[in-house]
Amino acid sequence: MMEPNQLQQQQDRVQLVDVREPSEWYAGRIPGARWIPMGELSGRLDELERERPVVTVCRSGHRSGQMADYLTERGYRAENLDGGVTAWTEQGLPLRRPHDEKPGEVA
């Protein structure tokens, strides 16, 4: 697992994959995250680089933890963001709405 502050420091070296549902994503996302909903991940693996680590994220870390395990089983170096976007915002880190970059919220 990766802590929010750790992720912020390493974000340029990892692929951040948000696995939440559309309403959650549009309410607010971590800047720089790629959106691949949990139900679509298995069909979109070709969008991820095998040589770069992947960090998965959801609201609390439960769903993204399952997806990190799924990716690890398929040969990716994957970690989960501990506590998800909830922990991210609790540490004062920004969420942005994807359509206009205004401050977002956890949904």
Question: What are the catalytic residues?
Answer: 58
Half-sphere exposure of 41 (CA within 13 A, CB side): 25
CA-only gyration radius of the chain, Å = 12
Tokens of 45: 């693996």
Of 78, 81, 53, 83, the closest CA to residue 68 belongs to 78
Rounded distance between C-alpha atoms, residue 55 and residue 78, angstroms: 6
Q: Which two tokens stand for residue 72?
A: 């690890």
Retrieve residue 69's tokens: 């395990």
